[in-house]
Amino acid sequence: MFLTITTTGTPERPATELGFLLHKHPEKAQAFSTSYGTAHVLYPEADAERCTAALLLEVDAVALVRRGKGKGRGGAPDAALAQYVNDRPYAASSLLAVALSGVFSSAMKGVCNARPELPAVPRPLRIAVPALPARGGPGLVRRLFEPLGWTVTAEPVPLDTEFPQWGDSRYVRLELESADRTLVEALRHLYVLLPVLDDAKHYWVSSDEVDKLLRAGEGWLPGHPEQKLITSRYLSRRWSLTRQATERLELVRLAEADDSEVEEIDNAVEAETETEERPTPLAVQRREAITAALKASGAARVLDLGCGQGQLVQALLKDPAFTEIVGLDVSMRALTIASRRLKLDRMGERQAARVKLLQGSLAYTDHRLKGYDAAVLSEVIEHLDLPRLPALEYAVFGAARPRTVLVTTPNVEYNVRWESLPAGHVRHGDHRFEWTRAEFRAWAEAVAERHGYEAEFIPVGPDDPEVGPPTQMAVFTQTTPKEAKAA
């Protein structure tokens, strides 16, 4: 909500020219009303040698909540309660960028009626933003501003000096310096890059945002090494914004009831994979292995238990051998994405009759799952706390009892082969456990024994002679059709 622009001057080019450039008189404090509060322009110092203009935005937090409707609300990047306690009144967010363009609109256009030659003249500039929310930290701040010729000072602000163990906040104290720069350029850089760093816009991203970006980015955005990141963040993802507003609220409330962050709970769908349409090779190999095992079992009616975003369902649909495919997941969000991926609402009747998406949970028995040829649990069991695994085991092997069950899970031994994975870490934040081949085998064999199945093990991915394959798969085949033995 606060930034300063400082310039120094010489007798020929007094620093007070800044007042002409900004169209704001250095001896007056001026106030401008914006949609989220009042913007003030004032000069803490103004003489020939040195002149500083300060932009101070007084954000009306209560009004912000009532009016806002962006990510979270009022543009705060956090959960719904966060709308009431948020950093907007303090941080140099996208609100400040909007105020900037409103208050200094002529300056941004490079227009100065009194001194038409001034805007084009480069001069020394120093811009200070004491609390800049920067997703990506000081590193990204430098990557964004340095290519534009700024000397960047970016220091992280600690979260709380009383609790040093909490580490740094997402704010950066930013200073940009340049010996010869036009104000137009400086303002346009800020106008685009403040919201890019904030990454939580407070208003709907609409189609005219593209035009705004093109205008403000003229002359510097093309060719910027981070152009892609700037563009995608600036334009944000309208699609995911709307979705967030409609789909997460129940979970947001449950997270709040627990004083948790919503991301702790609403994490069934990974943020990256939403946009990442190019799946990793291992995921492809897994689907191929699963499809092959299903074909080998002769299954026609198949359950994908824990179908996630429906990639496997989509793959199976392409093979007419599978006459009925049911995708089940506990996450409504995942199912919505799956439904969109499969284009269920536009699918022909005959195709649509082959596929069904259901919300369900393997912590419960479910009569809808009875009578299928095969069930796939691909990368599912490791998302369960171990004490709750027996319930899943009973729901699948005891109650639903398909003839064939495929279970895939990571082989933890292989983790040493992942270069990007720090030692001792699991592959996904939500993995409650990852098993060695021996552990998986022991579990699978015990399950098979208890429920009248035979288990066979198939490596998925490169089978490393020392640590085995990245993914391990068990194929369970029913041996006796008898009821489950006593648990």
Partner 1 sequence: MTDVREGRVLPVTDLSLVVLVGASGSGKSTFARRHFKPTEIISSDFCRGLVSDDENDQSATKDAFDVLHYIAGKRLAAGRRTVVDATSVQSDARRQLIDLARQYDVLPIAIVLDVPENVCAERNAARTDRADMPRRVIQRHIRELRRSLRHLEREGFRKVHVLRGVEDVEHATVVTEKRFNDLTHLTGPFDIIGDIHGCSAELESLLVKLGYSDGVHPEGRTAVFVGDLVDRGPDSPGVLRRVMAMVKSGNALCVPGNHENKYGRYLRGRKVQHTHGLAETIEQMAGESEEFAAEVREFIDGLVSHYVLDGGRLVVCHAGLPERYHGRTSGRVRSHALYGDTTGETDEFGLPVRYPWAEEYRGRAAVVYGHTPVPEATWLNNTICLDTGAVFGGKLTALRWPERELVDVPAERVWYEPAKPLRAEAPGGRDGRPLDLADVHGRRVVETRHQGRISIREENAAAALEVMSRFAVDPRLLPYLPPTMAPTATSHVDGYLEHPAEAFAQYAADGVARVVCEEKHMGSRAVALVCRDAETARKRFGVDGPTGSLYTRTGRPFLDDDSLTEEILDRLRTAIDEAGLWDHLAASNSASGAGDWLLFDAELMPWSLKASGLLRSQYAAVGAASGAVFPGALAALEGAAARGVDVIGLLSRTRERSADAAAFTEAYRRYCWTTDGLDGVRLAPFQILAVQGRSLAALPHDEQLALLDRLVEHDGSGLLQTTRRLYVDTGDPESVRAGVDWWLEMTGRGGEGMVVKPVGALVRDAQGRLVQPGIKCRGREYLRIIYGPEYTRPENLARLRSRFLNHKRSLAIREYALGLEALDRLAEGEPLWRVHEAVFGVLALESEPVDPRL
Query: Where in 96-115 is the site for partner 1 (CB under 8 A)?
Result: none
Is residue 86 close enough to count as binding partner 1 by CB under 8 A?
Answer: yes
Buried b vs exposed e over 172-186: b needs ≥16 C-beta within 10 Å? Answer: bebbbebeebbbbbb
Q: How far does the chain reach from its first CA to its final CA, in angstroms?
A: 62
Count of Cβ atoms closer than 10 Å to residue 127 Cβ: 22
3-state secondary structure of 171: strand
> Which H or E run includes 124?
strand 123-133
Based on the shown chain and the rule CB under 8 A, indicate whether residue 271 belongs to the binding site for partner 1.
no
Residue 433, interface with partner 1 (CB under 8 A)? Answer: no
* 171 makes contact with partner 1 (CB under 8 A): yes
Nearest to 41, CA basis, from 72, 87, 5, 12 = 5
- Between 128 and 294, name the residue whose CB sits nearer to partner 1: 128
Q: Is 81 in the site for partner 1 (CB under 8 A)?
A: yes
Site for partner 1 contains 39 (CB under 8 A): no
Q: Total residues contacting partner 1 (rule CB under 8 A)?
A: 93
DSSP type of residue 411? B
* C-alpha–C-alpha distance, residues 201 and 224, integer Å: 22
Separation of alpha carbons 482 and 487, rounded Å: 14
Q: Is residue 109 a contact partner of residue 119, using CB atoms and an 8 Å limit?
A: no
Nearer to partner 1 among residue 171 and residue 322 (C-beta): 171
Contact set for partner 1, span 219-248 (CB under 8 A):
none
Residue of 23, 45, 403, 464 that binds partner 1 (CB under 8 A): 45
Of 78, 199, 382, 434, which one interacts with partner 1 (CB under 8 A)? 78
Q: How far is the CB of 351 from partner 1 (least distance, A)?
A: 26
Tell me if residue 352 falls in helix, strand or coil.
helix
Residues pairing with 64 in the sheet = none
Q: Site residues for partner 1, window 351-370 (CB under 8 A)?
A: 359-368
Question: Does residue 137 interact with partner 1 by CB under 8 A?
Answer: no
The footprint of partner 1 on residues 383-412 (CB under 8 A) is 383-385, 387-388, 390-391, 394-395, 398-399
Q: Is 287 helix (H, G, I), strand (E, B) or coil?
A: helix
Q: Which one of 184-192, 193-201, 256-264, 457-465 is the stretch in contact with partner 1 (CB under 8 A)?
A: 256-264
The residue within the footprint of partner 1, chosen from 146, 177, 226, 256 (CB under 8 A), is: 256
317 lies in the binding site for partner 1 (CB under 8 A): no
> Which among 280, 219, 202, 240 is positioned nearest to 461, based on CA atoms?
280
**Which residue in the set 14, 133, 402, 468 belongs to the binding site for partner 1 (CB under 8 A)?**
133
| Closest CB to partner 1 among residues 183, 389 | 389
Confirm or reject binding of residue 479 to partner 1 (CB under 8 A).
no
Residue whose CB is less far from partner 1, 157 or 458: 157
Nearer to partner 1, 119 or 452 (CB): 452
DSSP state of 435: B
Of residues 13, 109, 142, 173, which one binds partner 1 by CB under 8 A?
Answer: 173
Stretch near partner 1 under the rule CB under 8 A, chosen from 193-201, 222-230, 289-297, 380-388: 380-388
Q: Which of 20, 34, 61, 477 binds partner 1 (CB under 8 A)?
A: 61
The gap from C-alpha 367 to its chain's centroid, in whole angstroms, comes to 36
**What's the rounded Cα separation, in Å, for the pair 378 and 200?**
34
- What DSSP designation does 51 have? E
Q: What's the DSSP call for residue 210?
A: H
Residue selected from 5, 21, 128, 407 as contacting partner 1 according to rule CB under 8 A: 128
* Beta bridge mates, 292: none
